[in-house]
Amino acid sequence: MKGAVSGAMTADAPPVVQLRDVALRYAKTVALDNLTLDFPAGRMTGLIGPDGVGKSSLLALAAGARAIQQGAVEVLGGDMR
Domains in the chain: how many in total?
1
Kindly state whether residue 16 falls inside one of the protein's structural domains.
yes
Kindly state whether residue 5 falls inside one of the protein's structural domains.
no
What does pTM read for this prediction?
0.80
Q: Which domain holds residue 73?
A: 12-29+52-81
Per-residue pLDDT band at 13 (split at 50, 70, 90) = confident
The pLDDT value given to residue 3: 45
pLDDT in tens, 23-81: 999 999 999 999 999 999 999 999 999 999 999 999 999 999 999 999 999 999 999 99
Between CA 64 and CA 79 the distance in angstroms is: 10
Residue 3 CB neighbours (<10 A): 4
Kindly state whether residue 1 falls inside one of the protein's structural domains.
no
Between CA 23 and CA 56 the distance in angstroms is: 14
The pLDDT value given to residue 25: 96
